[in-house]
C-alpha cells in the first residue's frame, strides 16, 4: 500500500538518497536502521514531502505523486495520508495536551469541537495520559510529551505513521514508556515506519527491517533474518558495532 520508486534527494552536491525502492504492506511495522548520516530521516521526510525529493514516485494507498511534477494539491493529499512523530515532539507550547491532540482534528479534519474533544480524550487515555489533559508541554516529562505526539498522530487516522527517532531525545529512563505505547499501537495493525536506534525494540516490534547506508538500502528482510543472519558485509559490521 506504500511504494517508493527511485526516490532521490540531494542537498547541493551531496546526494543523500540514491534511488530508493521500498514497498510497505498495510499493517506492517517497518524499522529503518543504519549509521548516522545514511539518509534515514531524509527518506522519512521525503515520504510526506517535508523534504522535496528530486526524483521518484511516492504511492500511498493508490495515490501516486511523481516528484518531478507534483502539484500543491498532490502534496496536500499525500500529507493527509501520513502523520509524523518527531524527535523533538514539536508540540504547540501554548496549548494543553488535549488542545495539541484536538488541533489536527479541528483544522485538518474539520471535525466539530465536541467530537474532536471526545476522540482526543480517548486517545490521551490510550497513551496513558488521561490525567494530564490540561497540562502544558512544559509541565510534562519528555516521555509524556512524546506520548502526546503519538496521540496527535493517531488522531489524524493516517494511512501510515512515520516515527523519526521517537526516543532519541529522551533520558534513558523515559525511553521504555514511549516504546511501550508504540508497541501497543503496532499490535492494532496501524502501518508504521520507524527510524530508530533501539535495536531490541526493532527486533521485537518490526515486521520488516531495512538497513540503509550512504543513501541506499543495503539489505532488508524479516527482523530474525537481518539481525541473526545478515547477508551483506556492511550490515554485519553495523550490527557488530552496536551490539
Q: What is the 3-state secondary structure (H, E, C) of the chain?
A: CEEEEEEEEEECCEEEEEEEEEEECCCCEEEEECCCCCCHHHHHHHHCCCCCCCEEEEEECCEEEEHHHCCHHHHHHHHHCEEEECCCCCCCCCCCHHHHHHHHHHHCCCCCHHHHHHHHHHHHHHCCCCCCCCCCHHHCCHHHHHHHHHHHHHHCCCCEEEEECCCCCCCHHHHHHHHHHHHHHHCCCCEEEEECCCHHHHHHHCCEEEEEECCEEEEEECHHHHHHCCCCHHHHHHHHHHC
Q: Is there binding between residue 85 and ligand ADP (CB under 6 A)?
A: no
Q: Is 38 in the site for ligand ADP (CB under 6 A)?
A: yes
Smallest gap from residue 197 Cβ to ligand ADP (A) = 10
Nearer to ligand ADP, 64 or 87 (CB): 87
Tell me whether residue 28 or residue 213 sits nearer to ligand ADP (CB atom).
213
Least Å distance, CB 140 to ligand ADP, is 26
Q: Pick from 36, 62, 71, 138 the residue near ligand ADP by CB under 6 A.
A: 36
Binding mask 1-20 for ligand ADP (x = CB under 6 A): ----------x--x-x----
- Among the listed residues 2, 28, 39, 123, the single contact to ligand ADP using CB under 6 A: 39
Residues at the site binding ligand ADP, with contacts judged by CB under 6 A: 11, 14, 16, 34, 36-42
Amino acid at each position: 500500500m506504500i511504494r517508493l520508486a527511485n526516490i532521490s534527494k540531494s542537498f547541493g552536491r551531496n546526494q543523500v538518497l540514491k534511488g530508493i525502492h521500498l514497498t510497505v504492506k498495510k499493517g506492517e511495522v517497518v524499522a529503518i536502521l543504519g549509521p548516522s548520516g545514511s539518509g534515514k530521516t531524509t527518506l522519512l521526510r521525503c515520504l510526506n514531502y517535508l523534504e522535496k525529493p528530486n526524483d521518484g514516485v511516492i504511492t500511498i494507498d493508490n495515490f501516486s505523486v511523481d516528484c518531478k511534477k507534483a502539484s500543491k494539491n498532490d502534496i496536500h493529499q499525500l500529507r493527509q495520508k501520513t502523520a509524523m512523530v518527531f524527535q523533538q515532539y514539536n508540540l504547540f507550547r501554548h496549548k494543553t495536551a488535549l488542545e495539541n491532540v484536538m488541533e489536527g482534528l479541528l483544522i485538518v479534519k474539520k471535525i466539530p469541537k465536541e467530537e474532536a474533544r471526545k476522540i482526543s480524550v480517548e486517545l490521551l487515555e490510550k497513551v496513558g495520559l488521561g490525567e494530564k489533559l490540561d497540562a502544558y508541554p512544559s509541565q510534562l516529562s519528555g516521555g509524556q510529551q512524546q506520548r502526546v505526539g503519538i496521540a496527535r498522530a493517531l488522531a489524524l487516522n493516517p494511512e501510515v505513521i512515520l516515527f523519526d527517532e521517537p526516543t532519541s531525545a529522551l533520558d534513558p529512563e523515559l525511553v521504555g514508556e514511549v516504546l511501550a505505547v508504540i508497541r501497543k499501537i503496532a499490535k492494532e495493525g496501524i502501518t508504521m515506519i520507524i527510524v530508530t536506534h533501539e535495536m531490541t525494540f526493532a527486533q521485537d516490534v518490526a515486521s520488516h527491517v531495512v538497513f540503509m547506508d550512504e543513501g541506499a538500502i543495503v539489505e532488508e528482510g524479516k527482523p530474525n533474518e537481518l539481525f541473526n543472519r545478515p547477508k551483506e558485509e556492511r550490515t554485519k559490521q553495523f550490527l557488530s558495532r552496536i551490539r
